[in-house]
């Protein structure tokens, strides 16, 4: 019933197709739209068509608007529609973009920390092949060409990068020390 309704089929035609009373079909759809007795929140789909990345129909748009007015959680609405939450609630898409931006910044910071350690202390935090691959990846895919061009000397690196390089360097030294101790005293 819901697959037919969300694909744009009117309730009367759904009733004919399912050999049901049109009034009962309309009532059931209204229960989902108004979330009567928690119908939308408690709904468990069974043999439903996934509607992800399909264009929103008018019926879906009406259900989304009603759920927003009634305070139904976006996850429940997406569950009823068989869609991803970001298609139902645009704010979720923005959260994903922020996560992507954080990932970009952290990978760039990691590379800059490796560069700082190499320039300042002549210490390789990663092997030279990995370093070259990281630099190539940041330039080609990360869009950090101008940032990398600006930070060619250790003096130009931000303080957070210097602290990150120091942390990574000490962490590597501590791991090496722990490994040596385990070799000397295997029972510890």
Q: Is the pLDDT of residue 168 over 80?
A: yes
Measured between alpha carbons, how far is residue 74 from residues 4, 52, 58, 60, 85 in Å?
21, 15, 18, 13, 6
Give the residue extent of every domain in the chain.
Answer: 2-88, 93-184
pTM: 0.47
pLDDT tens column, 22-33: 999 999 999 988
User: Residue 142: pLDDT above 80?
Assistant: no
Q: Is the pLDDT of residue 146 over 90?
A: no
Question: Residue 11 is encoded by which pair of tokens?
Answer: 């309730």
Reply yes or no on whether the pLDDT at 162 is more than 90: yes
Distance CA 158, CA 134 (A): 19
Range scoring the smallest mean pLDDT among 9-13, 109-113, 120-124, 133-137: 133-137
Q: What is the pLDDT of residue 171?
A: 87
- pLDDT, one tens digit per residue, over 65-111 is 888 888 888 888 888 888 888 777 765 544 444 444 445 447 888 88
Query: Which pairs with CB-CB distance under 8 Å and at least 24 residues apart come from 165-169?
Result: 165/113, 165/114, 165/116, 165/117, 165/120, 165/125, 168/113, 168/114, 168/117, 168/125, 169/117, 169/121, 169/123, 169/125
What pLDDT is attached to residue 24? Answer: 92
């Amino acid at each position: 019933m819901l697959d037919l309704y969300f694909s744009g089929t009117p309730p009367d035609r759904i009733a004919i197709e399912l050999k049901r009373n049109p009034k009962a079909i309309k009532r059931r759809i209204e229960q989902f739209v108004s979330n009567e007795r928690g119908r939308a929140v408690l709904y468990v789909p069974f043999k439903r068509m996934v509607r992800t990345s399909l264009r929103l129909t008018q019926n879906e748009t009406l259900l989304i608007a009603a759920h927003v007015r009634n305070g139904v959680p976006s996850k429940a609405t997406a569950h009823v529609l068989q869609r991803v939450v970001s298609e139902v609630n645009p704010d979720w898409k923005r959260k994903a973009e922020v996560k992507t931006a954080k990932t970009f910044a952290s990978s760039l910071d990691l590379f800059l920390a490796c560069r700082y350690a190499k320039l300042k202390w002549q210490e390789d935090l990663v092997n030279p092949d990995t370093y070259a691959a990281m630099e190539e990846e940041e330039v080609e895919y990360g869009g950090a060409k101008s940032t990398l061009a600006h930070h060619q000397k250790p003096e130009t690196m931000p303080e957070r990068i210097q602290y990150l390089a120091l942390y990574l360097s000490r962490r590597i030294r501590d791991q090496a020390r722990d490994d040596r101790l385990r070799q000397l005293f295997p029972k510890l």
